[in-house]
Amino acid sequence: MQYKQLSNGVSIPMLGFGTYEIDNSDVADAIQGALDAGYHHFDCAHIYGNEEAIGKAFKNSDVKREDLFITSKVWNADQGYDKTLKAFEQTLKDLQMDYLDLYLIHWPNEKDFQLTLDTWKALETLYNQGKIKAIGVSNFSEKQLKDVLSMAKVKPMVNQIERHPYKTQPELAAFDEANDIVNEGYSPIGHGHLILEDKTINEIAKKHGKTPAQVVLRWQIDTDFVIFPKSSKVARVKENFDIFDFNLTEDEIKDINALDQGKHLNY
């Protein structure tokens, strides 16, 4: 496993397991399968509707809490200072945990950004109380990040954004890096077969004796993104984890970067 260090010194595994769209009935097997494969970083969110099942799955496993890195997110309807504090306590209760490793604002409120700034103040409070080891945002633009940075007493440590070879977001990623904000990429292989059938990616995969998905995930890490692919298939979960025995060349990274179309594929 490779790790990134957040601006406050907390280490985050660069490869995690995504829990989006995993049905409650499948959670126990999915979580145990991920743990068996070697995952210790899990990306969750209240809106996914499965945090209670995820909490039970961890309780029923023999993994120690301190060996896990758990992320959750406050949903749009729960934004605002007091509502965020309440939503956080519900997430802790559902996950059966005493603290989170990372808590994010899931989306900025485009119509009332002050509400989002109040939400950030709540995250700072929880962070200062020691209930969260790190705080950050998701789906924030450069302008929105600047607005948060201008008022924050604790700066965002993470920005989680859609990121795959057809949407590489280089300008936003560079801004994040310049401000000590770690980039996380969701939908790391684009939610579909489009990217996995790409000629360039398949040629690179053949050279390394790897699958197209493994090449894309390796590209994410080689370009300094924390990622958390998801799958309910045991073989795919293991395959996604098996990316630490090779590296892409600079030319291969450039070739994948060149596939960028600014295309939204998170469907």
| Structure token pair of residue 47 | 């809106």
Beta bridge mates, 227: 15, 185
User: How far apart are alpha carbons 117 and 149 in whole angstroms?
Assistant: 10
3-state helix, strand, coil in the chain (%, to 5): 45, 15, 40
What is the Cα–Cα distance from 132 to 110, expressed in whole angstroms?
25
Q: What are the structure tokens assigned to 8, written together?
A: 């406050």
Task: Look up 48 and say whether it is catalytic.
Answer: yes
Residue in 124, 161, 182 with CA at minimum distance from that of residue 265? 161
The whole-angstrom separation of Cα 191 and Cα 94 is 27
DSSP 130: T
Burial zone of 25 (CB within 10 Å; 0-12 exposed, 13-18 middle, 19+ buried): exposed
* Cβ–Cβ < 8 Å for 108, 143: no
Candidates 3, 20, 39, 48; catalytic one = 48
188's CB contacts (< 8 A; 6+ apart) are: 163, 164, 216, 217, 220, 225, 227, 228, 229
Residues carrying an active site annotation: 48
